[in-house]
Structure formats: structure tokens, C-alpha cells
Amino acid sequence: MRHYERATFGGGCFWCTEAVFERLEGVEEVIAGYAGGEKENPSYEEVSSGRTEYAEVIQISYDPEKISYEELLEVFWNTHDPTTPNRQGPDVGPQYRSVIFYHDETQKRLAQASKTKVGASRKYKDSIVTEILPLKNFFKAEEYHQNYYRSNPQAPYCQVVVNPKLEKLEKEFKEKLKK
């Protein structure tokens, strides 16, 4: 039986991040959800208000024999803007912040090291604002948010916001994509 590990990232709208990470070899499942707040089982409307402390996130189940946590972090850093507080493109509010929720001390250490490396690389002219926090809870988003891009590729948001991220993924991480 395969052993899967989990990673939880917030890089703006979960429709975008889900579409990116589900294409990676070794990723078994990507679930859109909410993390970082206190209320039990928040709704999309509550999270969208920006007053719940929750971020839109994805939780990834992956096979560490096929893709490492470090590789997931590399894709994370390169498929969103980690320098804009509470914003990703047209999506504005704390629910769209850049955040890594770690599941254990190893993930914490690797996330912090990768953030330091990205900051030192000078890839971005502005400072990295990504939070690195312990995962204390995760709630799956409503069913209509799951597999959103796959179900709605012609939706204007998908065409304008998600497609450019997927094009960048294919250009920069072609060797990591599912065959």
C-alpha cells in the first residue's frame, strides 16, 4: 500500500492552486478548502467576507517517492506572487494571502529554508510576505469548488486567471507533469 503525505498551501484563489498542483506527477489528490481560522466548518460566504482569519487553501495528498515536499514548495513559489499581502491578481482580501501551513516540524524547517532561499534569490523585487504557520485545522470547501477548473475550463475567471498559471507551469515544470 502506498504511503501518502499531505501539504497545505494558500496561494490565492484555490481554483488556481488546485488546477496547478493536480497536474503534478506524484500528486494523488488536491482538495480545495479553508485553513487558519477558528470557526468550525466555515462557509465560502463567511471566508469570502475576509473576517474569519481563514485562507483559501489546497490540501495535497502526494507520494513522496514520486515528488518531494521540496519540489511542491518550488512549484508553490513559482506559480503565485508571494510578495503581495492579502492579494493575488484580481482577488483581494486576507483569504487570498500567501501561506504555507505545515503539518510537522520537518515541513516547517523545509518551508522556512525555501522561503529564505527564494528571498535571497532576488527573483522578486519586493519582500516575501508568505506566512508559515502550523496547520491547526482544515475544512473542505463546498463541493462546487472541488475540481473547479476541470469542470469549468471555459469560465471567464479560468480563461483569464487560471490559464496563464497553467501555461507557466507547463513551461517551467514540464518534467514534473503527469504524462
Positions marked catalytic: 13
Angstrom distance (rounded) from CA 117 to CA 112: 9
Closest by CA position to 35, among listed 60, 55, 52: 55
- Find, among 76, 64, 67, 72, the residue nearest to 16 by Cα: 76
Q: Which one-letter DSSP state was computed for residue 124?
A: S
Contact predicate 166/158, CB 8 Å: no
